[in-house]
Amino acid sequence: MPKLYEIVEKQDLVPGMALFHVYAPMAAKNMKPGQFIILRVSANGERIPISISGWDAEKGTVRIIIMAAGRTSTEAVALKQGDCFQDVVGPLGEETHVEKLKGTAVVIGGGYGTGAVMPPARAMKAMGNRVVGIIGARSKDLVLLEKEMREVCDEVIVCTNDGSQGVKGFVTDGLAGLMEKEDVQWVLAVGPVPMMQAVGNMTKPKKVKTFVSLNAIMVDGTGMCGACRVTVGGKTKFACFHGPDFDAHEVNFEELMLRQKMFVTQEKIAMEKLQE
């Protein structure tokens, strides 16, 4: 049997991004689509929230994708099969709202967010919906999990900024084309904040129900510390406790982007120390 929080499998996806299967049986047993975990790489390390892209309750593993963005995520991506995370807490947050629609459901993954939309996509599909996946990447080489996305969704639209595969442009270009052809009634977007904001701006005039999974800075993950506070519909919410999914048309994205930059200086110093 694997050790607690052991990496039982690791796959390098693209430079700086890796997929891990981690032995975390309690999290795997109770996980629901849209929920997340918080992990630490080392005993004195920071706690980082990570979306779940799948789980296996029998094997006791959760599947996560980590992108090396700061010191902790860089250390995490450097771990190998057989290494252990310090700890994994979860499942955290509320599960994604799913429902049976008359029209089309769309899941949009930007970069690492493609993994996160997979469980909600499966849940929407299981309810009998037509589910279209939209994947965004800078170029063909950076498109993630396309094969798996095609297995989950009825149709997949790949968008690349440089036009090397699929629609040239952003995920919003793929979504615009789809909305002209189909009655899109439900959208979930996970990825960089500007991408989620752009998706919300596109669906708002047509009043398409749109959810985004907010990647706020987190500490405890249980609504106690206030680190992850976001403003939604003019009210303060905790992304870890009330989210991570929120109505894209109500989120104050400008504030979220500012809060995400709060520790840029400390992060820079921490990265420099890691490289020493």
Binding-site residues for [2Fe-2S] cluster, in ranges, read 225, 228, 240
Strands 167-168 and 155-160, how do they pair? Answer: parallel
Question: In this complex, which beta carbon is closest to ligand FES, that of residue 238 or of residue 246?
Answer: 238
Least Å distance between CB 239 and ligand FES? Answer: 6
**Smaller CB separation from ligand FES, 140 or 263:** 263
**Closer CB to ligand FES, 194 or 226, in the complex:** 226
Closest separation between CB of residue 245 and ligand FES, Å? 14
From the annotation, which residues make up the binding site? 225, 228, 240
Residues in contact with ligand FES by the rule CB under 6 A: 218-221, 223-228, 238, 240-241
Nearest distance, CB of residue 188 and ligand FES, angstroms: 21
- At its nearest, how many Å lie between ligand FES and the CB of residue 99? 26
Pick the closer one to ligand FES by CB: 71 or 242: 242
